[in-house]
Structure 1
Amino acid sequence: MNLVVKSTSITTVPKLTYDVLIENQQDGTVKATLLGLPDCQGLGNTETEAIEKVRQSLHTRLEAAKIVTLEIEAPKVENPWIKFAGMHRDNPLFGEVLEYIEAERNQVDLDNETK
């Protein structure tokens, strides 16, 4: 399996989007949790405040980290039908079977032309 890590040094940072789970707590506060990064949370008195705190938390985390893109090549798997290819080539009746198939196809073609 081949693994390629793409890391670029872009001077303009692309905008990233994240889904945030907003939960009203029993004590009246609001908790915002970044989906995919459950340890990145923000707690506030309002939804806006909780979102701002989770944004700050993520920003702090990304200052000391970087995001890279992984390209993983799928493993090469043999086509399961390949093992059956040519299995009847030595059968003495194989020629007759091919002739029968060809005759049937020709008949279907004629039937389709007359419709």
Structure 2
Amino acid sequence: MNITVENYLKNTAPKLNYDVLIENQADGTVKAILLGLPDCQGLGNTETEAIEKVSQSLQTRLKTAKIVTLEIEAPKVENPWMKFAGMFKDDPQFDEMLGYIEEYRRELDAQMEEYYQQLDVENEAK
């Protein structure tokens, strides 16, 4: 498993977007909670004030922490059906079996064609 960590310097860090949950409280105040970091909250008399406070809370937290991007390469897993691929290639009856399958498929196709033609006749009669 390969793991890559990208670290951004403060002066080159891209802008980050966060989702914030805004809740009106029973006492008339507004609470803003940073989703994913529930301990980053702001409480204010207005939505704008609550958002400013949650932003300040996050900025204070980021003074002693940093955000990195973690990229994890998924392990390569073999398709479990591949172990069965070609297992009958040397079977002397394989071609005969394919013939039976093709014949059965043609029978089913003919039945379906007949069924759809019957539906068309019934729909035209209505």
Alignment TM class, shorter chain as reference: 0.7 to 0.9
Spell out the pairing of 1:18-29 with structure 2 (5 A cutoff): 18-29=18-29
For the pair 1:77 / 2:73, whether they are aligned, the reply is no
- Decide which structure has greater helix share: 2
Please list the CA deviations of residues 8-41 of structure 1 after superposition, one character each: whole Å capped at 9, or x if unmatched: 3363331111111111111111111011110000
Amino acid paired to 2:44 = G
In structure 2, runs of 5+ residues without a counterpart are 104-126
Spell out the pairing of 1:58-97 with structure 2 (5 A cutoff): 58-96=58-96
Which piece of structure 1 moves more, 88-97 or 70-79? 88-97
Spell out the pairing of 1:1-115 with structure 2 (5 A cutoff): 1-9=1-9, 11-96=11-96, 100=99
CA RMSD of aligned residues (A): 2.1
**Identity in percent:** 75
In structure 1, runs of 5+ residues without a counterpart are 105-115
Cα distance change, pair 51–10 in 1 and its aligned pair in 2 (3 A): closer
Q: Give the number of equivalent residue pairs.
A: 102
Q: Report what 2:123 is aligned to.
A: none
Following TM superposition, where does structure 1 have runs of at least 4 consecutive aligned residues deviating by more than 4 angstroms? 95-98
